[in-house]
């Protein structure tokens, strides 16, 4: 999803005249304007832009996708499902649309349909890590931990260098109390992406839940030397010290399994992945959604 951008104000000044004249502008410029509005979290203003693009280009699936995404982001999950169905059915199904409709199905409490959509996306794009991650996290949400492990393992057969999948499988193994396997996966994820903190954080939480505060503190402090301003690391070290009795408090907080796994995966995944407005052919790559003139202005 398009998460909040802290300290950033999106620059829409090149498009001031579009507020009155966008309906008569070329479609490529209209697309850029809609993308800027969406990135600026003006979803109500962006939706009619993408509907206009759909009227102009009904065969471009990106336009339908963007309408469905805005519907999903504004809580209209059933409407999003209906909007997206034409681009997920049949031989021309789009992987991005399958991933989005799965999110809409799950938000609408239609878990079997969400699962099927993600499995179809995996079949169409077996090296796209997003769908394995989403399906394994869905298993986490419904306490199907072993199924989640199997899905992550299947993904690693296709993408053996994915730190993301090792991290996900580690969290799932920890929920099954397979701690040796979890530790090995956290270590492998850290080896593959040593500059990322999430594998270390996950290992620290896993050790903490086993009441192994000594090892947890050692792991977290080792990482903190490299990232001294990382708030999650500092918070977890404080939690470890609290549990060890260095600070007495009646308001100690404990992240209990399986909840800690879901919280960790959701937080980690939202930082690295997510659904994005798709610019289609008008504004470059789907994976790079920023339009040409809508860069952020620092406040």
Predicted local distance difference test score (pLDDT) of residue 256:
42
Predicted local distance difference test score (pLDDT) of residue 274:
53
Please tell me the least confidently modeled range out of 43-52, 82-91, 98-107, 235-244: 235-244
pLDDT digits (tens, 9 = 90+) for 97-129: 999 999 999 999 999 999 999 999 999 999 999
Per-residue pLDDT band for 160 (boundaries 50, 70, 90) equals: very high
- Sorted by where each starts, the structural domains of the chain and their CATH numbers stand as 1-127+275-299 (1.25.40.10), 144-257 (1.25.40.10)
Encode burial over 33-57: b for 16+ CB neighbours within 10 A, e otherwise.
Answer: bbbbbbbbeebebbbebbbbbbeeb
Please tell me the least confidently modeled range out of 121-125, 135-139, 234-238: 234-238
């Amino acid at each position: 999803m398009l998460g909040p951008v802290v300290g950033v104000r999106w620059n829409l000044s090149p498009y001031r005249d579009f507020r009155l004249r966008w309906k008569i502008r070329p479609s490529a410029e209209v697309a850029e304007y809609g993308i800027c509005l969406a990135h600026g979290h003006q979803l109500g203003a962006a939706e009619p832009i993408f509907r206009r693009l759909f009227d102009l280009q009904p065969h471009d699936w990106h336009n339908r996708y963007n309408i469905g995404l805005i519907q999903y982001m504004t809580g209209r999950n059933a409407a999003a499902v209906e909007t997206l169905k034409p681009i997920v059915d049949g031989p021309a199904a789009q992987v991005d649309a399958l991933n989005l409709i799965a999110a809409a199905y799950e938000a609408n409490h239609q878990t079997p349909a969400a699962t099927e959509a993600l499995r179809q996306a995996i079949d169409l794009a077996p090296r796209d890590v997003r769908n394995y991650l989403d399906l394994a996290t869905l298993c986490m949400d419904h306490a199907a931990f072993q199924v989640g492990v199997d899905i992550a393992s299947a993904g690693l057969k296709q993408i053996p260098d994915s730190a993301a999948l090792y991290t996900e499988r580690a969290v799932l193994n920890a929920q099954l109390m397979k701690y040796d396997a979890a530790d090995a996966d956290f270590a492998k994820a850290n080896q593959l992406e040593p500059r990322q903190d999430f594998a270390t954080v996950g290992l620290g939480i896993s050790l903490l839940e086993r009441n192994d505060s000594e090892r947890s503190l050692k792991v977290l402090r080792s990482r903190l030397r490299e990232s001294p301003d990382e708030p999650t690391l500092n918070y977890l070290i404080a939690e470890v010290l609290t549990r060890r009795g260095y600070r007495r408090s009646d308001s100690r907080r404990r992240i209990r399994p399986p909840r800690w796994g879901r919280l960790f995966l959701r937080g980690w995944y939202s930082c690295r992945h997510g659904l994005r407005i798709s610019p289609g052919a008008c504004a470059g790559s789907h994976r790079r959604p920023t339009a040409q003139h809508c860069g952020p202005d620092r406040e």
